[in-house]
Chains A and B, each alone.
Chain A
């Protein structure tokens, strides 16, 4: 996908220059911000299709900026940072990021990640389940709506895709790699921590008691399984 509007947020001018040059020459439209505060401002004016966000910035850091953007928008956010411990990845994903790339990175890899983040899964109208109804959970995949105990719940696109894939294989464990490739893209497969974070978010949103899930079950060392409690039916 070319021609996306990308907001690059980084306090290092050389990195912004490099990103502007490479992304522009790959056909994208680029705007820059130097701090978290500026990122929020530019986000409203520029209305980007995707945000590339550095974590370590003076003033409002990347994590906080990520949370603020995510609070009002589903735009894909990719974190770019020099740190690469699992703890930091999980923190970033928890703050609402879709993906995490550690610096330094090859441009090919970053462009692939950008493509994957911008790619929306094909409409579910023709493939996969239409929805799911039980006494306390109602999912309408075509209308992209989820109701929990008669209240609308907002899922991010990644959470929605994850849930759709699990429901499509209801009753069967779906391996980590398969879930990652279905939701993030074919280049993914080892990022099990992504799944941990997103499954956690999903459980908080749809499970009556997230610590003892009844819909989204963990299959140790394998993956996850969507279970249908007694008395509910897929549509």
Chain B
């Protein structure tokens, strides 16, 4: 309605302009016919540029009529036959049509440039909004809101494949179904429905499928759609890496804190033990009578036991509470075994230790100190749980890409029901609870150490035949450096 009214007014104004020219030249300013025709041409040119084809066509016809009636002799009559008349009409019409076409095209191009500029501005705004959020969930919600706001569309929906979540601006976006979004996420091509004005675009970054993005009432160009999804992809990935980064940092800090606490605890528990042990062991060098010697010996031994307990409990806590990182390098298996046996020389006493360690074994990729601790524990156990005088056997070999080291004894063996449980914390075998000193932590610590190496520890045993404790460690791919 408004457009028709506007057109009518423009047509009337065009006619009025031509009439004004006729009045001016006919009554006030007599000039020759050529001048009149040129002036009229200018007027039509102006109308065509400013308004358009209809207005200029009407003006052309009126101008030809006015020119013919008032300025071409015989003045005061319409002489259709005069060729001057046809020339003027054709000139006016061509001017009107050509000019209006040109100006329409120019106007269209300006409008298009404007639209592109607005899109770029909006993309920029969207990019900023996406980069400001620092968690994946808020960034997804922000993306949906920013897209609606910046592109002035009624609704948008984002599907995040990693979290399998849908972020919808409101209920009306349900016109785009979950299945459609899932399906487009894995497809290569965007889905565009011009009739329902719906567009669904896959969101991916570097070939990785992140999800899909649905637009309601979309008038966006394909280029703009691609740019939007690219921005959203970058925003989502950025938020995810930020989130992961802060998680890792928090984990690292809490680990450092735990390690520091355990360190402080070790110091505080061992300090009084140091005073006790120092005092008692000194008194023990000059006891005044056998009773005093017996009592001091007990105190001295118990101080040692207390110390072992503190060491083992703290070690267990360290392996469990903090992510325990062994400091690994290639070591010769023969050296690992011989060092462990040498360190146990004193407690081995008359026990014979048979070594079956082939010369040509690959090196083991281990933390030497911690593996020593494991072997010490296994040798300790073998000594404790087998009768005096019986030999121990240590063997090593290769199984697949692992190196397996075993410690075998000729003890009573371990009943099958207990075999799995002996690696549990504080578990002590039925037969040994009262007979043998210990905390029940040694094997769990050994298990923790071996598992931190990416290895495995197990026992095979037959009651009456003795036990074989074995552990598998990764073989080194590097050359051994002595």
A interface residues (Cβ-Cβ under 8 A, vs B): 12, 14-15, 17-19, 21-22, 25-26, 56, 82-83, 85-86, 103-108, 110, 190, 218, 220-221
A108 touches B285 (CB 8 A): yes
Report Cα–Cα, A110/B263, bound state, in Å: 24
- The CA-CA distance from A48 to B263 in the complex, in Å, is 31
Measured CB to CB, the residues of B under 8 A from A are: 263, 266-267, 270-279, 281-282, 285, 300, 303, 307, 332, 335, 342-343, 369, 482
Q: Does the CB pair B482–A218 fall under 8 Å?
A: yes
Contacts of B278 in A (CB 8 A): 15, 18-19, 22, 104-107, 110
Q: Taking CB as reference atom, which chain B residue is nearest A22?
A: B282
A121 to chain B, nearest CB (A): 26
* Known contacts A18-B279, A19-B278, A106-B281, then 11 further A-B pairs from the complex at CB < 8 Å, ordered by chain A residue: A15-B271, A22-B279, A82-B267, A82-B271, A85-B369, A103-B271, A103-B273, A104-B278, A105-B277, A107-B281, A190-B343
Q: Nearest Cβ in chain A — how far from B326, in angstroms?
A: 12
Contact of B266 (CB < 8 Å), options: A15, A18, A82, A86: A82
Cα–Cα distance between A86 and B367 once the two chains are bound (Å): 11
Q: Using Cβ atoms and an 8 Å threshold, which residues of chain A touch B271?
A: 12, 14-15, 82, 103
Q: Is the CB of B273 within 8 A of A104?
A: yes
Q: Is the CB of B270 within 8 A of A82?
A: yes
The residues of B that contact A190 with a CB separation of less than 8 Å are 342-343
- List chain A residues, Cβ under 8 A from B281: 106-108
> Which applies to chain B's interface (DSSP): helix, strand, loop or mixed?
helix
Beta-carbon contact of B274 and A104 below 8 Å: yes
Taking the nearest CB of chain A, how far is it from the CB of B363, in angstroms? 13
> Nearest chain B CB to A91's CB is how many angstroms away?
14
Task: Name the residue of chain A whose CB is nearest to the CB of B332.
Answer: A221
Most B CB within 10 A of own CB, among A18, A25, A26, A110: A18
In the bound complex, residues from chain A placing their C-beta under 8 Å from that of B279 are 18, 21-22
Contact, CB under 8 Å: A15 / B282: no
Q: What is the CA–CA distance of A82 and B285 in the complex, to the nearest angstrom?
A: 24
Distance in Å: Cβ of A25 to nearest Cβ of chain B: 7
A residues less than 8 Å from B272 (CB atoms)? 14
Q: CA A26 – CA B332 in complex, angstroms?
A: 45
9 closest pairs, A vs B, by CB? A220-B482, A104-B277, A106-B281, A107-B282, A104-B274, A22-B282, A103-B274, A82-B270, A107-B281
CB pairs A–B below 8 angstroms (18 shown): A12-B274, A14-B271, A18-B275, A56-B267, A82-B267, A82-B271, A83-B263, A83-B266, A103-B270, A104-B273, A104-B277, A104-B303, A104-B307, A106-B278, A106-B300, A107-B282, A110-B278, A221-B482
**B residues in contact with A21, CB < 8 Å:** 279, 282
Q: Which residues on A sit within 8 Å (CB–CB) of B270?
A: 82, 103-104
With both chains docked as a complex, state the minimum distance between the C-beta of B318 and any C-beta of chain A, in angstroms.
11
B411 to chain A minimum Cβ distance, whole angstroms, is: 28
Inter-chain CA distance A209–B370, complex, in Å, is 33
A14 in contact with B275 given A190-B343, A218-B482 (CB within 8 Å):
yes
Residues of B within 8 A of A107 (CB): 278, 281-282, 285
- Most interface-central of B266, B267, B271, B303 (chain A CB within 10 A): B271
Residue of B nearest to A177 (CB): B342
Which chain B residue shows the least CB distance to A86? B369
Chain A residues near B482: list those with CB within 8 A: 218, 220-221
Residues of B within 8 A of A86 (CB): 369
Q: How far is the CA of A56 from the CA of B271 in the complex (A)?
A: 11
Chain A residues, Cβ within 8 Å of B282: 21-22, 25-26, 107
Contact of A104 among B276, B335, B369 (CB under 8 A): B276
Q: Which residues from A are CB-within-8-Å of B267?
A: 56, 82
- Judge whether A105 and B343 touch: CB under 8 Å: no
Nearest opposing residue in chain B for A16, CB measure: B275
- Shortest distance in angstroms between B297's beta carbon and chain A's nearest beta carbon? 12
A135 to B276, CA, bound (A): 56
Give the docked Cα–Cα distance between A105 and B275 (Å). 9
**Nearest Cβ on chain A to B315's Cβ, whole angstroms:** 11
The listed residue with most A CB atoms (<10 A of its CB), out of B266, B274, B342, is: B274
Among candidates A15, A85, A108, A221, residue contacting B274 with C-beta atoms closer than 8 Å: A15
Contacts of B263 in A (CB 8 A): 83
- CB of A60 to closest CB in B, whole Å: 17
Inside 8 A of B273's CB, which chain A residues have their CB? 103-104
Q: Are A15 and B275 in contact (CB under 8 A)?
A: yes
Most buried by B among A86, A106, A221: A106
**Alpha-carbon separation in the docked complex, A28 to B273 (Å):** 23
CB distance from A21 to the nearest CB of B (A): 7
List, in ascending order, chain A residues with CB within 8 A of B275's CB.
12, 14-15, 17-18
CB nearest neighbor in B for A219? B482
**CB-CB nearest in chain A for B369:** A86
Closest to B345 in A: A190
Report A114 CB to chain B, min CB distance, Å. 13
* Shortest CB distance A235–B (Å): 33
* A189 CB → nearest B CB, Å: 9
